[in-house]
Structure 1
Amino acid sequence: MSASTAVAPRGRFSLYLDLIRWNRPAGWLLLLWPSLAALWFAADGFPGWHLLTVFVLGTILMRSAGCCVNDVADRDFDRHVKRTAQRPVTSGAVSVKEALTLGAVLALMAFMLVLTTRRAAVLWSFAALAVTLVYPFAKRFVAVPQAVLGIAFSFGIPMAFAAVQSSVPALAWWLLAGNLFWVLAYDTEYAMVDRDDDLKIGMKTSAITFGRFDVAAVMASYAIFLVMWAVASASRQLNPVVYAGVALAAAQALWHWRLIRERTREGCFKAFRLNHWLGFTMFAAVVAGHLLR
C-alpha cells in the first residue's frame, strides 16, 4: 500500500491543510494587504462588502492553490532542503495527482468568485493564473526568480482596479511595480534561509545572485517600495496620516535589517515571517489616508 493511500481519511484532511500551509497564514496575508490597499485606491475609499469578501476569500484560495502547484514542481528539490524535506508531496504522503486536483479545485473556487465581479477582472484572472503556474519553474532558469514571484504576488492590484473600474490605469501598474520590490525584499530574506541547500542542488535564487550584496539589495528594495507607494498616495492627495504609516513601515524595515544583517537562518526567517505586519501597516495607512481626506 502506498504512503498516499495508507493515511486515514481524517489524516488526509490534515495533510491537505499542511499542503496549503493552513497553519501559516503569513503567506496569504502577504498577498492580501496590497490587494486590499489597491481596492481602496481603485474605489477611492471603501470598495463595498462584496468586493472585499471576493478578494479576501479569493486571495486565500489562490495562495492555497499556488502552494499545491509549487510543491509538485519542487518535490525533487525540496527533499534536499532541511526546511522543506517533510512537505506532504515531497515525503510522498500526498500524491502528485492529489495535490494537482486539490489545487485545481481551489483555483476553480477562486474563479467562481471572480465571476461575480466585472468582465475585465475575469479576463485579468487568466493572466494571474498563468503567472502563478510559471513561477515554480522560474527557479530553474531565472537568476532572480523572486521578481517573477513579485509579479504573481502583485497581480491582485490590477485585478482590484479591473473589478472596481473595469480598467487598469497607470496608477495600478505603478503600485504593482512598487509592490514587486517589497516581494523581492521579503522573499530574498526567505531565500537567505535556504541559501546553503540551494547552492548544493543548483536552485537559482536572489540570495545567491546578489551574493554579499544580499542585505543591501533587501534594504534598497524596501526603500523603493515605500517611496513608490508614498508617491502613489501623494498623487491621490490622501490625508498626510498615510506618511506616518509609511514611516512606521520604514521603521519595521530597519528592524528587519537588524534581524538579517548577520545572515543567520533564524534571523532571516523571522524577518520574512514578520513582513505581513509591514504590509498591514501600509494597508492601514492607505485606508486612513482615504478616510481622513
Structure 2
Amino acid sequence: MQNCSERLNYSLQGQADKPALVFLHGLLGDHRDWQPVIDELSKEYLCLAIDLPGHGGSQHIEVVGFEDTCIKVIATISETLSSPFWLVGYSLGARIAMYLATHCSSSLKVVSAPFAGLIIENGHPGLPEPEKAARREHDEKWAVRFENEPIVDVLQDWYQQPVFSSLNHAQRQSLIDKRSDNLGTKVASMLRATSLSQQDFLGELLRTLPAKVHYLCGEKDNKFLALAMHSGLSYSIVPDAGHNIHAEQPLLYCQSIKRLIEPN
C-alpha cells in the first residue's frame, strides 16, 4: 500500500510474474470494494486496485476532467506493473477505463506493461449530444447536495435511484454505512469532473480498439443490460446480479474474468 501527496493510493496483491488486473472502482467507492474478488483472483494474477481521485487514500487529490484522471491512473500503472495488464472498471471506473483505452493510446505505449484488454462492468459509453444538458443539470444537483448536506442524508436518496433497484433494504443500508466516510466536497468535485455529460461518446472507438473489449452486465440491471446489448461489443450477462456485480456475485464475477483472460 502506498500513499503520498502527489500520487494515487493503491493496493497491489498477487503473483508478480502473472498477467495483471487493474481495478477502478465506482463513485463513492475505493480499492477495498474489490477485496472479495482480489482474494480469489490474486491466487493467479497480479491485482492492482487504485483509489480514484477524491476517494479513499486519494481523497486529497483533485482533477478537472477525464484526461487529468487518466494521466494519474497511467502513472500508477507505470510505476507498479511490468506484465501485460487488463483494465477492469465498474460504473465510474468503467467510464474512466473506457476513456483511457480510447483516448490515451500514446501514453499507454510508453508504459512498460503492455495493455491487453478492457473489461467493462456496467459502464456507460456516453450520451447523445441532445441528452447532455439534462445530465449536466442532474449531476450538478447531486454535487450541490454532496457539498452542502450531511452525507448520510444524501446517500439515503442516492441509493434510491432506479439503477440501484435490485438492492434490498439491508444491502442499501450497508452501502450507506460503508460510504459515509466519504467527504461530500470531494465527491462533488469528482462528480463534476467526470460527469457523463462531460464524456465523449466512446462506442465507435471501443468497437475498433485493437485490444480485447468485453462488457459484463447484471441480469437485473435493465438499463445497462440494454446498453450492453446495443453496444456492438461482446458481452456477458451475470445471473442474479444488479448494477454492482462484483459485490453481489463475486464468485461468478471471478469466473467471468478468468474465462475472458484465458479463454482456452
TM-score, normalization: structure 2? 0.32
Q: From the two aligned structures, give the one with the greater helix fraction.
A: 1
TM-score, normalization: structure 1? 0.29
Q: From the two aligned structures, give the one with the greater strand fraction.
A: 2
Larger radius of gyration: 1
